[in-house]
Amino acid sequence: MKRILTGISAILSLLVAALLWPWQWLALIAMIGVSIILLYKSTRSERKLFAICSIAGAGSEVFAIILGSWTYTNPTFIIPLWLIPLWGIASVFMSRTRIEIEEFEKNKNKKSKSKK
C-alpha cells in the first residue's frame, strides 16, 4: 500500500506542478492533498522529514532568490507557496526510494549467495 501511495503521490505532484502552477492557491491546495496521500501510511520519522525539508527547502529557495540566483514567473511570496509541500513530498519520496533500493540490493545479494 505504501508503494502505491508513494507512486501516486509522485505522479500527482508532477502533474500539479506542471498544470496548476499559474493558479498558486489551487496548486497549494492540490499539493497539500498530495501530501496527505503520501503521509497517510507514514512513519513518525517520515513526517518529521517532511516538515523539516519543507521548511528548509523553501527557506533555501527564498535565500537564493533574495541573493539573486533565480526568480519565479508567478511567485506568491518570493516563491510559489506550493513549493513548500513539494519539498516535503520530494524528501519523503527520496527516502522511500532509498529504502526500496536497499531492500532490492539485500534481496539480490541473498539470491546470489544461495546460488553458490
Q: Residues 22-47, buried b or exposed e (16+ Cβ, 10 A)?
A: eebeebbbbbeebbebbbeebeeebe
Task: Place 5 in a pLDDT band, splitting at 50, 70 and 90.
Answer: very high
Distance CA(13)–CA(115), nearest Å, equals 41
Residue 113 pLDDT > 80 = no
| Cell numbers representing residue 22 in the block | 499559474
- Residue 84: which of 26, 17, 19, 28 has the closest Cα? 28
Q: pLDDT tens digits, residue range 46-74?
A: 999 999 999 999 999 999 999 999 999 88
